[in-house]
Chains A and B, each alone.
Chain A
Amino acid sequence: MDDKLRPYRTGVEKPARYVGGEYNLPDFNKPYSVRMCLCFVDLYEVGMSNMGIQILYGVLNEAEDVRCERCFAPWIDLGKILKEKNIPLSSLETGTPLRDFDIVGFSIPYEMSYTNVLYMLDLAGIPFRAKDRGEAYPLIVGGGPASANPEPFIDFFDLFFIGEGEDIDLELCKLVEKYKGDRDKILTEAAKIDGIYVPSKCEFSDGICKTTVKKAVVKDLDRAYFPTKPLVPNIEIIHDRSVVELYRGCYAGCRFCQACYFYRPVRYREKETVKQIAERLIKTTGCEEMGLSSLSTGDYEDVVPLISELKDLTERKNVSLQIPSLRLDSFTEGLLERTKKSSLTFAPEAGTQRLRDVINKNVTDEDIKSSMAIAFRAGYTTVKLYFMLGLPTETDEDVLGIAETVRLVKQTYIETTGRKNIFINVSTAMFIPKPATPFQWAEQISGEEMYRRQNLLKSELFKIKGVHYAWHGADISVLEGVFARGDRRLSDVIETAYLSGCKFDGWSECFRYDLWMEALAKHNVKIEEYTGARDTDEALPWDFIDFGVKKSYFLSEWKKALVAKTTPPCKHRCNGCGAQSLASCRFYKEKKS
């Protein structure tokens, strides 16, 4: 490999990010006819923590005739060197420039990573827009969680994976192998595959796609591929542990949560399969920690026996089992047995029962009190509480209710332990209406109002001893809101923002609100057009996607939200959301006529 970067490596921060060479690298001597580079639009440490990257990398490299390599966004220091020295952005494994691959696939985790797609294309010497790329360039493919609404940045892609990519990426590779050199034929055939959105092959009316694209889902998660020999990074990454995925989708039905609906139907990996994977991962990774991944691990049906059995396995090997994301109503003493007594995290999300009913967070003050009492009896002295501000129908009473909830937690600690030495970390995020949720029609409050509510809460929490408050920035939340429900007009804004210096927008030290405002103004885009309430009759930019969950279901949930009426979790009763149309749902029950 011609390592043009070698002389510059000692001059950049964490050069080990850019050298690859991890344990468990696949065999790159196998013959291949299609070569793909899987790109992640953030740093190595973030991308290697992403389970989707590990799954796709494993699936593709285990397939015949396909070689998959990786590339992560270089930090600003290296990006500058690449640009100055005219060294093209290349893959980690073989140092091959991105433009020499057949397919370059971008995994896009969220709205504020859009400029990094352009950053990576720029460093690779690949034109930004699909219309400007001919056969000489690789097929540029997008996917990942941002696929619930790809419209704001679709002009930069030849095609887009909607939903879960592990099956359809192989189908695309087969097409590329079959029709190599005939891009139009590849795109025509790709458009026929469920889960692949090819804008150049779709019909449009008033800028809105009218060709339905069905979201791709893995039909049988229990038998689906899972990487049991994942790459083990040589440096510490964000989630530095081996991970077993328990299930996809969520039955809770919180109305603000895109992941809950986007990953439906609920599909399980059975307990025995999870144990087999865990056992294998201990051997193949050597990681000192193991995590369980799902949208709400405490809701997994067999969670207590599973954790108990996994503990037997991990403790024998001196591996620490981490249990994240617990819902308050799924918290039991069984879950706490043999866990470390350090800190627990809960997300009541809202401070009053009325608002919790609006968002369908089926949690009561009594649930909070009883769960906390269990935790405190078990020896926990630190609690993290997550809330959202700016939720639909929220009033100042709801904002101050967060402080009341914190007081309730503190009081429960005092009553349970007789002591006062509790630490409560309170964190608030701003509500952002997301596509494919019942709140997709909701209004997002303005930046000024966000600051006002944050300050209101701050002044109240300040009065409670032992509380630390952290909040998510208002400016960045406004922009997330614009792009979450954006349309094709925003691609010009993204390009202008990038060219004026915006990249790594999710990193506070890089975020340039002023440049974004200039870019929006240059293209006459008003923030309120995107953050304002949407009419339920209005055609939405993402309406062409068949999410499984029906639009009529979202609408009925939206109407119930406005009158603070809850919907029970699917495990108590199938609510007929429609996700069953894509694959078998764990909780589906046919309605009796």
Chain B
Amino acid sequence: MITIAFRRFGNGIFVPHVDVLRNLNRTFRRAELDVSYSKGFVKHMKLNLTQPLPFGIADEDAYVAADVEPGDIASALTFFNESCPPFLQAKAIYRTDKNPNLAGLVTLSDYYLPAALSPEQIDRLNNLPSDYVVRQKKGDGIVERSTEGLIKSLRASSDGVSAKLAFGNVNLRVDVLAQQLNADFMTDFELTRIVRLSQSLVADGVEKTAENYLREIAAECVFLND
């Protein structure tokens, strides 16, 4: 079993999650990494992708686990990147005993939301109330939702905002937050310029990034710039 850490960038932000999965399938096949398949009538490559981001958000820290045992993971990283569409790039490969199930473990995501902010905006954003309310579409209507406990941290500076938000089963969508901030504070956060920087989880009572978690549990790992 291997887990590949990859980036989705550039115009790849417009490629929907289901098509990212399709592109990963094709990349594995082109790279001749023989991932095993399900046994049903319609066979599927056994891939496990971390949870999708909202449409239009770039991702510097996505993961896909694949049921394959390449002899040499350094070569596998090279082949994978040679076989990727231009909007994807593998950053690392981790060899693990079993599927690390990151989709189930990850609870937080770090984002960067670039925008020129005034001192007043910075001040207000850095002092966001703990029960700040966002409005989001639900069905045909709009619902209000408190962000209490969903914004782990938020730090504004003159060129944008760094935020750590709940992600996974309990989730605060970064696009919803950005739109609400734009409405409330006259900020100019553009959805297509938001980047997810990392994913985090809690293991053994300690919060750690997905990358550090994988480094700890992996039997072997290789990084793009090694």
Interface contact A283-B30, CB-CB below 8 Å: yes
Shortest distance between the CB of A125 and any CB in chain B (Å): 24
- What CA separation (Å) do A319 and B37 show in the bound complex? 11
Interface contact A19-B14, CB-CB below 8 Å: yes
A7 adjacent to chain B (CB < 8 Å): yes
9-residue interface stretch from B19-27, B132-140, B148-156:
B19-27
Chain A residues in 8 Å Cβ range of B32? 283
Shortest distance between the CB of B31 and any CB in chain A (Å): 8
The closest CB in chain A to the CB of B85 belongs to A23
Interface contact B86-A23, CB-CB below 8 Å: yes
Interface contact A21-B16, CB-CB below 8 Å: no
Shortest distance between the CB of B112 and any CB in chain A (Å): 18
Interface contact B26-A6, CB-CB below 8 Å: no
Interface contact A10-B55, CB-CB below 8 Å: yes
Interface contact B26-A16, CB-CB below 8 Å: no
Chain A residues in 8 Å Cβ range of B84? 23
Interface contact B37-A21, CB-CB below 8 Å: no
B192 adjacent to chain A (CB < 8 Å): yes
A202 adjacent to chain B (CB < 8 Å): no
Interface contact B16-A23, CB-CB below 8 Å: no
Chain B residues in 8 Å Cβ range of A318? 29, 37, 43, 45
Interface contact A288-B19, CB-CB below 8 Å: no
- What CA separation (Å) do A16 and B10 show in the bound complex? 11
- What CA separation (Å) do A318 and B27 show in the bound complex? 14
Interface contact A287-B26, CB-CB below 8 Å: yes
Interface contact B14-A236, CB-CB below 8 Å: no
Chain B residues in 8 Å Cβ range of A6? 192
Interface contact A21-B191, CB-CB below 8 Å: no
Chain B residues in 8 Å Cβ range of A15? 14
- What CA separation (Å) do A318 and B23 show in the bound complex? 16
What is the interface residue range for chain B against chain A? Answer: 20 to 34
Q: B161-198: contact bitstring with A at CB < 8 Å (1 yes, 0 no)?
A: 00000000000000000000000000000111000000
Interface contact B26-A9, CB-CB below 8 Å: no
Chain B residues in 8 Å Cβ range of A19? 11, 14
- What CA separation (Å) do A22 and B43 show in the bound complex? 25
Please judge, given known A-B contacts A15-B14, A23-B26, A285-B26, whether A234 and B19 are in contact too, CB under 8 Å.
yes
Chain B residues in 8 Å Cβ range of A9? 14, 56, 192
Shortest distance between the CB of B167 and any CB in chain A (Å): 20
Interface contact B15-A288, CB-CB below 8 Å: no
Interface contact A234-B23, CB-CB below 8 Å: yes
A334 adjacent to chain B (CB < 8 Å): no
Q: Which of A234, A282, A319 contacts B85 (CB 8 A)?
A: A234
Shortest distance between the CB of A38 and any CB in chain B (Å): 20
Shortest distance between the CB of A490 and any CB in chain B (Å): 38
Within 8 A of A (CB), among B40-62: 41, 43, 45, 55-56
Interface contact B191-A10, CB-CB below 8 Å: yes
Interface contact A288-B192, CB-CB below 8 Å: no
- What CA separation (Å) do A235 and B22 show in the bound complex? 8
A305 adjacent to chain B (CB < 8 Å): no
The closest CB in chain B to the CB of A233 belongs to B19
Chain B residues in 8 Å Cβ range of A282? 29
A286 adjacent to chain B (CB < 8 Å): yes
Q: Which of A21, A22, A234, A286 contacts B29 (CB 8 A)?
A: A286
Shortest distance between the CB of B129 and any CB in chain A (Å): 28
Q: B60-100: contact bitstring with A at CB < 8 Å (1 yes, 0 no)?
A: 00000000000000000000000111110000000000000
A284 adjacent to chain B (CB < 8 Å): yes
- What CA separation (Å) do A340 and B87 show in the bound complex? 34
- What CA separation (Å) do A10 and B15 show in the bound complex? 11
Interface contact B192-A10, CB-CB below 8 Å: yes
Chain A residues in 8 Å Cβ range of B14? 9, 15-16, 19
B28 adjacent to chain A (CB < 8 Å): yes
Interface contact B25-A16, CB-CB below 8 Å: no
Interface contact B19-A286, CB-CB below 8 Å: no
Chain B residues in 8 Å Cβ range of A287? 26, 29
A401 adjacent to chain B (CB < 8 Å): no
A20 adjacent to chain B (CB < 8 Å): yes
Chain B residues in 8 Å Cβ range of A22? 85-86
Q: A221-258: contact bitstring with B at CB < 8 Å (1 yes, 0 no)?
A: 00000000000101110000000000000000000000
Please judge, given known A-B contacts A283-B30, A288-B25, whether A21 and B85 are in contact too, CB under 8 Å.
yes
Q: Which of A21, A283, A284, A286 contacts B27 (CB 8 A)?
A: A286
A25 adjacent to chain B (CB < 8 Å): yes
Within 8 A of B (CB), among A12-35: 15-16, 19-23, 25
Chain A residues in 8 Å Cβ range of B83? 23, 286
- What CA separation (Å) do A443 and B25 show in the bound complex? 51
Interface contact A25-B86, CB-CB below 8 Å: yes
Shortest distance between the CB of A244 and any CB in chain B (Å): 17
Shortest distance between the CB of A99 and any CB in chain B (Å): 24
A317 adjacent to chain B (CB < 8 Å): yes
Interface contact A234-B192, CB-CB below 8 Å: no
Chain B residues in 8 Å Cβ range of A7? 190, 192
Shortest distance between the CB of A430 and any CB in chain B (Å): 35
Q: Which of A10, A232, A235, A340 contacts B16 (CB 8 A)?
A: A235
Shortest distance between the CB of B195 and any CB in chain A (Å): 15
Interface contact B30-A21, CB-CB below 8 Å: no
Shortest distance between the CB of A91 and any CB in chain B (Å): 14
Interface contact A235-B86, CB-CB below 8 Å: no
Chain A residues in 8 Å Cβ range of B27? 286
Chain B residues in 8 Å Cβ range of A21? 10-12, 85-87
Chain A residues in 8 Å Cβ range of B55? 10
The closest CB in chain A to the CB of B87 belongs to A21
Please judge, given known A-B contacts A20-B11, A25-B86, A286-B83, whether A236 and B26 are in contact too, CB under 8 Å.
no
Shortest distance between the CB of A294 and any CB in chain B (Å): 25
Shortest distance between the CB of B194 and any CB in chain A (Å): 11
Chain A residues in 8 Å Cβ range of B26? 23, 232, 285-288
Cross-chain pairs A/B with CB under 8 angstroms, 16 sampled: A10-B192, A16-B14, A16-B19, A19-B11, A20-B11, A21-B10, A21-B11, A21-B85, A22-B85, A23-B83, A23-B86, A234-B12, A234-B87, A286-B25, A286-B29, A287-B26
Besides the known contacts A9-B192, A23-B26, A234-B87, 6 further A-B residue pairs in the complex with CB atoms under 8 A apart: A7-B190, A10-B55, A22-B85, A286-B26, A318-B37, A340-B41
